């Protein structure tokens, strides 16, 4: 592996990580704590629950699961693009695909 390849991979990985963390912060500490009162008042309620309250008790957890799935898929694509999947140069056992 050339070092420019590694550097590019690392930069792309950093972009994904920061994007995931940005959404993570927004749905949890943002919607559910910092801007909760505003969300409760101005966003449509979820069923009978105020939006901010629902995000704090249910919505954020659902988002976390979705975030991790997105991360795993994006990183799988990134790794295969840069040839970093173990199966690409070792082929000892088949790695079952995420997609």
Partner 1 sequence: MEQSTLNFIFIGISFAIYIGIAFKSRASSTKEYYTAGGGVSPLANGMATAADWMSAATFISMAGSLAIGGYDGSRFLMGWTGGFVLLTVLMVPYLRKFGKATVPDFIGDRYYSKFARGVAVVCAIFICMTYIMGQMRGVGVVFSQLFGIGIPAGVLIGAAIVFFYAGMGGMKGITYTQVAQYCVMAFAYTIPAIYISIALTDNFIPQLGLIGDYVAGGEYVPFLEKLNAINEELGFSHYTSGSISRIDMFFITAALMCGTAGLPHVIVRFFTVKDVLAVRKSACWTLAFIAVVYLTAPTIGAFSRVNLIEKLHETTYVDAPKWFKDFESTGQMAWVDKNDDGIIQYYGPAKSDTNSNTVFAGKAPAYPVAGSATDVLVGKHKQRLLTNEVITSNPNELWFGNDIMVMANPHMAGLPPWVIALLMAGCIAAALSTAAGLLLVLSTSISHDLMKKIIKPDLSDKEEVAYARVAALVSLIVASYFGINPPSAFIAKTVAFAFGLAASSFFPTLLLGIFAKRMSREGAIAGMICGIGFTMGYIVYFQFLGGTKEQYLFGISPEGIGTLGMLINFATAFLVNTVSPPPPPEVQKMVENIHIPSGAGEASEH
| Residues near partner 1 (CB under 8 A) | 1, 6, 9-10, 13, 16-17, 20-21, 24, 28-29, 32-34, 36, 40, 46-50, 53-54, 56-58, 60-62, 64-65, 67-69, 71-72, 75-76, 79, 84-86, 88-90, 95, 98
Least gap, CB of 7 to partner 1 (angstroms): 9
Residue 15: both structure tokens together? 């972009």
Phi-psi region of 18 (alpha: psi -120 to 50; beta: other; left: phi over 0): alpha
Q: How far is the CB of 98 from partner 1 (least distance, A)?
A: 7
* Rg of the chain taking only CA atoms, in angstroms: 19
Both tokens of 83, joined, read 């040839």
Residue with tokens 């957890």: 61
Q: How far is the CB of 19 from partner 1 (least distance, A)?
A: 10
């Amino acid at each position: 592996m050339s070092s420019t390849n590694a550097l590019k991979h690392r930069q792309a990985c950093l972009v994904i990580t920061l994007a995931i963390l940005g959404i993570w912060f927004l749905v949890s500490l943002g919607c559910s704590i910092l801007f909760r009162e505003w969300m409760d008042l101005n966003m449509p309620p979820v069923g009978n629950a105020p939006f901010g309250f629902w995000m704090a008790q249910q919505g954020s957890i659902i988002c976390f699961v979705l975030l991790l799935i997105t991360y795993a898929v994006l990183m799988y694509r990134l790794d295969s693009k840069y040839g970093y999947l173990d199966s690409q140069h070792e082929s000892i056992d088949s790695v079952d695909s995420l997609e």
